[in-house]
Amino acid sequence: MAGTATVRVSLWLFFAFMLGACGKPPSLLEQVQSRNELIVITRNSPTTYYEGVDGPTGFEYELAKGFADYLGVELRIVVPPNFTDILPLVARGDGHLAAAGLTVTNRRKLTVRFGPVYQEITPQLIYRMGSVRPKTFDDLEGHLEVVAGSSHVERLEILRSKHPELSWQENEQLESEELLTMVWQQLIDYTIADSNELSINRRFYPELRPAFDISSPRALAWAFSRRDDDSLYNTAVDYFAAIRKDGSLEQLIERYYGHITEFDYVGTRRYQAHIEQRLPTYLDIFKQAGELVSMDWRLIAAISYQESHWEEDAVSPTGVRGLMMLTQAAAKDMGIENRLDPTQSILGGARYFERMRDKIPERITEPDRTWLALAAYNVGYGHLEDARILTQKNDGDSDKWIDVKENLPLLSQKNWYKQTRYGYARGREPVRYVENIRSYYDILIWYTDREVVEVEVSKPMLLDSPAL
C-alpha cells in the first residue's frame, strides 16, 4: 500500500508541475505516456482476447498491443466479470478504451465514442443442424438466448415491432462462444452470434448453422469515453490510418480469418473422428519430433494429416509415401530407409520442414515464416521463391503470406511462369495446402487445450486521474 501511495504522490507532483509549467493539466495522451501504460478493457473470446499457446493472443489483443507499441507504452488488459460492464467502465473513464469486438449502434453512441471502423460482421441467428431451419423469427419454435447487453439485444427489441411474439432470454454470465456451445449441445435452441464468431467456432462444433441474417453487415470499432479530451482518440485515428496504409490491418485480419472463409462439414467431422481414433497411435512420435526440431508437435501432426490423413501406408499417384508423404529424394536426403515406418517418416518429415523454414530469410517474422515454409514443403523452395519474385513485380510484400498466396496461382499461367527460374507449378495447390494445415492446427490446439487454466478475470482498476 505504501508503494502505491508513493506512486500516486509522485504522479500528483508530476501533474502539479505540468499544470504550473503549462497552465493546463496534462492531456489523456500525456498521462498514458507518463504512466507508461495503456489500459484496455476487453472480453475473453476467440475473436478478442485469450491465452494461447505462446501467451496472450486474439484479434483485439493484437490490435491493442499494436496501439500500445505505437504509443511506446506497455499494454494492460482488463477483463470485467460481465460483458455488460464493458461500456459503463469506458464511459466512466475506468479504462482508456474498450477493444472487445463492439458493434457500433446508435444507442451505444449515446454513452461512448467510437473510433475508426476496422472490420464488418453480420449478426446471424444460429441453430443446430438436424433441427428445422427457421426462415424468419416467426418460425422460431424453442428457446432463444443471447448475451446480455450485446448489440443483438438492441436489434431484437427493434425487430419485435414486426414480430410481436418474439421473445428471448438475456444471459449475463456467458459469452457468445459458450451460448454457441449450448446450441450445439442442444441445451438451447437458438442464439445470435456475429458471423466471425460462427466462422471460428463451427470448426469445433460443425453442426452449428446460420439460419438467417438478422440485419445487414455491422461495423466494429473501439469505444472511448465521450469526455472532452480528444488526444488519445485522435492518436487512435492516426494509428488506424497508419495500419491501413502499410497493410498491417489487412494482414492481421488474414492471420485470424483468412484460412476459415470456407467450411467443409464432412472434412471437419472426419478430422475430429481421426483425432480420436488415429492420432493416439502416433502421438508420442509427434511429440518426439516436436522436441527434435523445437516446434509445436501439433503443427507437425497437422502437416501429417494434410499429407496422409494419418495413414502410415499412404501412397500417392506420384510416388510419395508414408505419414509425411516424403519423396524418395527427400527421404534419402534425410537418411530415411523406410518411408512407411511411422517413426522414420514423422521424424524425417519434421527435419525436412525445419530445413524449409531455415531457408526462409531471417527478417520474415512469425507466423508468415511458418506459412511460407509450409508452401515450400509442398511446392518446393524454388517455386516459392519464384512466387515471391512475382509478388514483388506485382507490388506486393514478398515477406507476407497474404500477398504471396495471391501470386502463387500465377505459376500455372504461361505468361507468368515463363518469367520464372523454375517454371510451371500447380500454384493453387500450396495455397489450399497451407490454409488446410492452419485449420487443422487450430482445431488440434482446441482439442488439446480445453483443460488449460482459464485467464483470470480482472477487477477493473479505477484510474485516479480527474482527467479521465
pLDDT in tens, the chain (468 residues): 344 344 444 444 455 445 545 567 899 999 999 999 999 999 988 889 988 767 888 999 999 999 999 999 999 999 999 999 999 999 999 999 999 999 999 999 999 999 999 999 999 999 999 999 999 999 999 999 999 999 999 999 999 999 999 999 999 989 999 999 999 999 999 999 999 999 999 989 999 999 999 999 999 999 999 987 999 999 999 999 999 999 999 999 998 888 887 788 889 999 999 999 999 999 999 999 999 999 999 999 999 999 999 999 888 877 788 999 988 888 888 888 999 999 999 999 999 999 999 999 999 999 999 999 999 999 999 999 999 999 999 999 999 999 999 999 999 998 999 999 999 999 999 999 999 999 999 999 998 876 433 333 333 333 433 333
Backbone angles phi, psi at 172, to 5 degrees: -85, -10
454 is catalytic: no
Enumerate residues 6+ apart whose C-beta is below 8 A from 353.
293, 295, 300, 303, 373, 374, 377
* Whole-number pLDDT of residue 7: 41
Q: 30, 175, 307, 312: which is the annotated catalytic residue? A: 307
Q: Are 312 and 340 in contact (CB under 8 A)?
A: yes
Q: Which residue has the cell 505468361?
A: 415
Q: Which residue has the cell 497474404?
A: 402
Q: Are 170 and 148 in contact (CB under 8 A)?
A: yes
Bridge partners (DSSP) of residue 282 are none
Q: Are 94 and 463 in contact (CB under 8 A)?
A: yes
Dihedral-angle region of residue 164 (phi above 0 means left; psi in -120 to 50 means alpha; beta otherwise)? alpha
Q: Count CB neighbours of 232 within 10 A.
A: 24
Q: Are 88 and 219 in contact (CB under 8 A)?
A: no
Bridge partners (DSSP) of residue 297 are none
261 burial type by CB count under 10 A (0-12 exposed, 13-18 middle, 19+ buried): exposed
Q: Are 320 and 313 in contact (CB under 8 A)?
A: no
